[in-house]
Structure formats: C-alpha cells, structure tokens
C-alpha cells in the first residue's frame, strides 16, 4: 500500500509544531551566567513573573513584578524596550519559560530565562540578605530531627506538579510507617529560611536522616516503590 509522502510531511509538521518549541530568541541559562549578564547590562530589564505575594517575600534587586498569571500581562510589557535584553524569572522556571516565549512572540529580540528560578538564585547565595525568619528556623529544624527513628523531610510546594503526584503516597506512608520513620512535610513557600540554609534549589526534595545525619537525599520525582525502599 502506497503512502502519500506529502500527507506524512503534513502530519509530521503538525506534531512538531505542537511540541511547544522554544523561540530562538529565548535563552535559558544557569544562575551564574544569568547573574553575570545582569551585571554586564546597564539598566537591565528584569521581570519577576511571580504573583505579587511571592514577589513581596523577596526578589532580585531592581526587578519589576509583572505577574504571568495576570490578565494584563501583555499590556504591562509594552513599556519595555524590545530591542534590549530582558531577564525573566519565577520561582522554579516553569512560568518564566512560558512568559519568555510569549515575550519573544511579542517581538522581544533577546530574552534570558533563569533556569531554576528563585530557588536556584537563593541556593547560590545571590539573594539579598534577609534577617527576617520565614517559617522553621535552623534551631527548630534541628529539633525536628531528634528521633530514635529515621526522619524523612519532604520539601514541597502546592504549585509543584511532581509534588502533587507524590503527595498521596507520602501521606499514606506518614500514617502506615510510624514504627520505622517520622515523615515531616515542609511547604517550601512558607519555609524560605531553612530552604536557603540547606541550599535546596529544586522541588520536590526529600532528605532522609538517621541519628540527625543525612543518609539519603533526592530532588525531583521519586516513585512510591523507590521511596519505600529507602525507608525500609
């Protein structure tokens, strides 16, 4: 049976187009390169595309809050010079990637997206020092680790997709494995101080302690089976 090659070409084009290709005008770069480029750019245009509430908890110096989730996002970008570099970031890189592609679509010629977002920026020690303690302090965290059992600390966020996927079985283990392990869940958005202290730059992050010493640590999705293996 003969297959129409033109038909195959059209199907391939459609599939390729639907894969969400990144604009060539968008460059996702690591935190060190991002910081250096900002310093080397006079009057750098820096857009924090998180919510105003997130922005208020701490942001990159001289950045403007242009909420990606706001209905007037496009309208608020009109005041920026499209011919000059624009630096975009969010909490972990998801929203800023979408916002960066939108900016390129609007005609911005050079868009730098921060890989890993504010989590990476803070973990790299680039955030402006903040004496205000947000959430659990280091001393309180140390108290949480005092147990004759293993202690698993799960750092998560309500907006984190893999965190949501893992939540049901972590809560289940929290109830069913009390004889072997103490499981503590900490919302990263509400515990900024300890996140910075431990230099946690990705979510979810699981840290397993035994006798207050780290036995195992993993960032990113962990299956129920693999997690059970670690907790045995």
Contact assessment for residue 63 and residue 41, using Cβ atoms and an 8 Å cutoff: no
- Residue 212: phi and psi, rounded to 5, are 70, 5
- Cis before 204? omega within 30: yes
Q: Where are the beta strands (DSSP E) in 66-131?
A: 86-89, 111-114
Over the range 48-87, which residues count as b (16 or more CB within 10 Å of their CB) and which as e?
bbbbeebbeebbbeebebbbbeeeebeeebeebebeebbb
CA dist 209 and 6 (Å) reads 59
Q: Which of 50, 185, 69 is nearest to 117 (CA)?
A: 50
Q: Is 137 a catalytic residue?
A: no
**Sequence-separated (6 or more) residues with CB below 8 Å from residue 160:** 92, 203, 204
State the Cα angle at 33 between 28 and 34, rounded to 5°. 65
Q: Is 163 a catalytic residue?
A: yes
CA dist 34 and 113 (Å) reads 8
**What are the residue numbers of the active site?**
160, 163
């Amino acid at each position: 049976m003969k297959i129409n090659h033109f038909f195959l070409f059209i199907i391939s084009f459609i599939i390729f187009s639907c894969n969400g290709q990144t604009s060539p005008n968008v460059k996702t770069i690591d935190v060190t390169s991002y910081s250096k480029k900002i310093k080397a750019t006079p009057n750098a245009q820096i857009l924090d595309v998180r919510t105003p509430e997130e922005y208020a908890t701490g942001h990159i110096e001289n950045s403007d809050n242009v909420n990606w989730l706001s209905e007037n996002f496009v309208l608020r970008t009109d005041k920026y010079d499209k011919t000059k570099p624009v630096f975009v970031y969010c909490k972990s890189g998801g929203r800023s990637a979408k916002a960066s592609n939108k900016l390129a679509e609007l005609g911005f010629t050079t868009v730098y997206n921060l890989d890993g977002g504010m989590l990476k920026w803070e973990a790299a020690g680039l955030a402006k020092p903040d004496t205000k303690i947000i959430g659990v302090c280091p001393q309180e965290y140390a108290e949480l680790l005092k147990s004759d059992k293993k202690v698993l600390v799960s750092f998560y966020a309500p907006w984190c997709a893999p965190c949501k996927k893992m939540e049901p079985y972590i809560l289940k283990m929290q109830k069913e494995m009390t004889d072997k392990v103490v499981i503590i869940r900490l919302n990263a958005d509400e515990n900024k101080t300890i996140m910075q202290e431990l230099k946690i730059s990705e979510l979810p992050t699981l840290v397993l302690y035994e006798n207050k010493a780290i036995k195992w640590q993993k960032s990113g999705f962990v299956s129920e089976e693999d997690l059970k293996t670690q907790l045995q």
